[in-house]
Amino acid sequence: MKNLAFLGLGLCVALAFTSCKSSESAYKKAYEKAKQQELAQGTAVQQQTSAPAAVVAPTESATPVSSADVRQEKVTIVAGTGNLQDYSVVCGSFGVKTNAENLKSFLDNEGYSAIIVYNADRNMYRVVSETFSNRDAAVRARDAFKAKYPNRQDFQGAWLLYRMN
């Protein structure tokens, strides 16, 4: 009788450990699916931003811009010196601040005065290589940045940020 109880207890423990493994597997699958969706969205954004920008006469008013060409976000500076103007070239987005700091260091060594901004709504750190008061200058800078690093796929996804107040 004791052997049967011990065997039953052993079976329960074995089932408990294997059930944890399946939830770990489910978590991993969900993470991989989310990562694939994020990459797919990044590809869509890259395709949208790689289209030539329409020529628009610069205006001094802070009118909303097309979301197809520019993303509008409310951000705050968390690292770097300088003022964040209306339009910025974002060359990296990270959920972990350390990763953003590493890219900022790289850009600083390349001669940029990079800034890290934080979007609290999306919990993302954006690495800005340059910032401008008008859209046309920002578009030219983004295109020049992408042309400077043709072999860096991560930089080919550079996009424009319109800072919302």
Q: What is the pLDDT of residues 12-29, one digit of tens each?
A: 555 555 555 555 666 666
Rounded to an integer, what distance in angstroms lies between the CA atom of residue 11 and that of residue 9? Answer: 5
User: Taking a C-beta distance cutoff of 8 angstroms, is the pair 116, 125 a contact?
Assistant: yes
pLDDT score for 3: 62
Partners of 118 in beta bridges: 76, 125
Rounded mean pLDDT, 133-161: 88
Find tokens 């699958």 and name the residue: 29
pLDDT score for 68: 44
Rounded to an integer, what distance in angstroms lies between the CA atom of residue 46 and that of residue 158? Answer: 8
**pTM for this structure?**
0.56
- Max mean pLDDT range (1-5, 66-70, 157-161): 157-161
Q: Strand, coil or helix: what is 90? A: strand
The share of the chain scoring above pLDDT 70, in percent, equals 58
pLDDT score for 46: 47
Q: Is the pLDDT of residue 37 over 60?
A: yes
Greater confidence (65 vs 128) lies with: 128
pLDDT score for 65: 40
Rounded mean pLDDT, 82-102: 88
pLDDT score for 57: 46
Rounded to an integer, what distance in angstroms lies between the CA atom of residue 2 and that of residue 65? Answer: 76
Tell me how many helices (H) and strands (E) the chain has: 4, 6
Backbone angles phi, psi at 89, to 5 degrees: -95, 115
pLDDT score for 58: 44
